[in-house]
């Protein structure tokens, strides 16, 4: 997974780089029409979703994503690179929480990390290790600091919460 993520990383970037692996279909195939406007789009139902060419080049990442698709609808999937000595300021994601009606949740899998990366949720450090899968209530305040000398790379998978996913999250050994 780490080698595929690094292979997709193209060139230098300032502090934050996003590589879409699964996106709204009209962004992947520009011959498709833009979806019609809807009143509520937080759950991703406003558009069909497609794998991107970057995911097609990454068989292991695709295998990981396909595992989640066995349990629920997978919408947005991205690789997020945070450059050394960079900060993502504290913010909230108002539609990424189990408690939000008609919403998606974000699952995060650290792919490459260093000892100087700190993720804080509600001012509490979250000890995310490479290869672990985390659900975090991102409707709460969170921030990231990379004081290290290497990139922090996370795979984020936005899914529709259903009873299977909620059950897995509820039974997980680490919930923050």
11's torsion region: left (phi>0), alpha (psi -120 to 50) or beta? Answer: left
pLDDT in tens, 52-80: 999 999 999 999 999 999 999 999 999 99
Tally of CB atoms within 10 A around 126: 16
Domains along the sequence of the chain with CATH: 2-31+41-171 (2.60.120.330)
The token pair at 104 is 């998606």
Cα separation, 141 vs 89, whole angstroms: 10
Cα separation, 122 vs 103, whole angstroms: 21
pLDDT in tens, 108-154: 999 999 999 999 999 999 999 999 999 999 999 999 999 999 999 99
pTM score = 0.86
Burial class (CB in 10 A: 0-12, 13-18, 19+), 154: buried
């Amino acid at each position: 997974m780490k080698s595929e993520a690094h292979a997709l990383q193209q060139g230098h970037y300032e502090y934050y780089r996003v590589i879409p692996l699964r996106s709204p279909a009209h962004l992947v195939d520009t011959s498709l029409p833009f979806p019609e406007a809807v009143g509520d789009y937080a759950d991703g139902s406003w558009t069909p979703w497609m794998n991107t060419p970057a995911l097609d080049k990454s068989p292991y990442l695709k295998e990981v994503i396909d595992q989640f698709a066995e349990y629920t609808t997978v919408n947005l999937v991205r690789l997020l690179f945070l450059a050394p000595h960079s900060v993502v300021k504290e913010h909230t994601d108002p539609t990424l929480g189990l408690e939000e009606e008609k919403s998606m949740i974000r699952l995060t899998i650290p792919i490459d990390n260093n000892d100087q990366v700190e993720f804080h949720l509600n001012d509490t450090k979250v000890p995310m290790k490479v290869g672990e899968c985390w659900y975090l209530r991102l409707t709460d305040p969170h921030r990231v600091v990379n004081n290290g000398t290497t990139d922090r790379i996370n795979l984020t998978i936005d899914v529709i919460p259903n009873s299977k996913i909620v059950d897995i999250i509820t039974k997980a050994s680490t919930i923050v």
